[in-house]
Amino acid sequence: MKKILIPIALIFTFISCQEKFPILDSWGSKNYNLVNQDGDKVIFPHALKGKVSLVTYIFTNCPDICPLTTNNMRLIQERMKKEGINHVDLYSISFDPEVDTPPVLKKFAEMRDLNLSNWQFLTGDKKEIDDLIHQIGVFAVKGDSTVFEDGKTIYYYVHTDRISLVDKEGKIRKNYPGSTTNIDEVINDLKDFNE
């Protein structure tokens, strides 16, 4: 009896890990040509492989939700450092690449004194970005706008508020509500998750 129950217990333990971090989504075999805040090329999600990642989706003209999400990413990064979690990289992808060029993203990070040692802000061609986010169920739709005297228009996106936990194979294993993320929950997950 003992010989049977122990393997069963081990199988259930394995299943419990799969249950906690099931594969929710992935970019499949697709890769996207992006650039980071320094203008360096980043092949996404290929560049993520081999490390666990937290990925969020923002636009820098967002005055409310995206700054909260960015602050949560910063808090997670600070807690990771404090708790010795060093197997995780951070990525913020802009879904407004026409505005969010590398210099704009760099300034956005500098204004907030963000530590970019393991955190990259990514942008790219609009079509590439749209395809990338739609592939994993992230939405960003142009909503209200403001038209200036010089005829220029800026748009405010209605968008998904999310931070994704991505495994070493580039598959999404959990999503958190970006602007209201429970930092303790993320840190506990990162301690458990190193696949």
Partner 1 sequence: MKKLLLTLLAITVITACSTEKKEEVKTEAPVVVEKTSTNLEIVNGWIRPSSKGTNTAFFFDAVNGTDLDDTLLTVESDIAEVVQVHETYQADKGMMGMREVKGVAIPKGTTVNFKPRGLHIMLIKLKHDVKTGEEYKLKLNFAKNGSLEITAPVKDMLMKQTMGEHKH
Beta carbon nearer to partner 1, 6 or 43: 6
**Which class for 56: exposed (0-12), middle (13-18), buried (19 or more C-beta within 10 A)?**
buried
| Closest approach of partner 1 to the CB of residue 31, in Å | 26
| CB nearer partner 1, residue 51 or residue 68 | 68
Shortest separation between residue 87's beta carbon and partner 1, angstroms: 21
Closest approach of Cβ 136 to partner 1, in Å? Answer: 13
Tokens of 83: 């708790």
Burial of residue 101 (number of CB atoms within 10 Å: 0-12, 13-18, 19+): middle
Q: What is the closest distance, in whole angstroms, from the C-beta atom of residue 168 to partner 1 in the complex?
A: 20
For partner 1, which is the closer residue by CB, 35 or 105? 105
Structure tokens at 90: 């951070």
Residues near partner 1 (CB under 8 A) are: 1-2, 5-6, 8-9, 12-13, 15-16, 19-20, 60-65, 67-68, 71-72, 75, 104, 107-108, 111-112, 139, 141, 143-144, 146, 148, 154, 156-162, 175-177, 179-180, 182, 185
Q: Counting beta carbons within 10 angstroms of the beta carbon of residue 69, is it exposed (0 to 12), middle (13 to 18) or buried (19 or more)?
A: buried
In whole angstroms, the minimum distance from the beta carbon of 135 to partner 1 comes to: 15
Residue 66 is encoded by which pair of tokens? 């995206």
**Quick one: 47 or 59, whose CB is closer to partner 1?**
59
At residue 162, the 3 state secondary structure works out as: strand
Lookup result for tokens 């960003």: 140
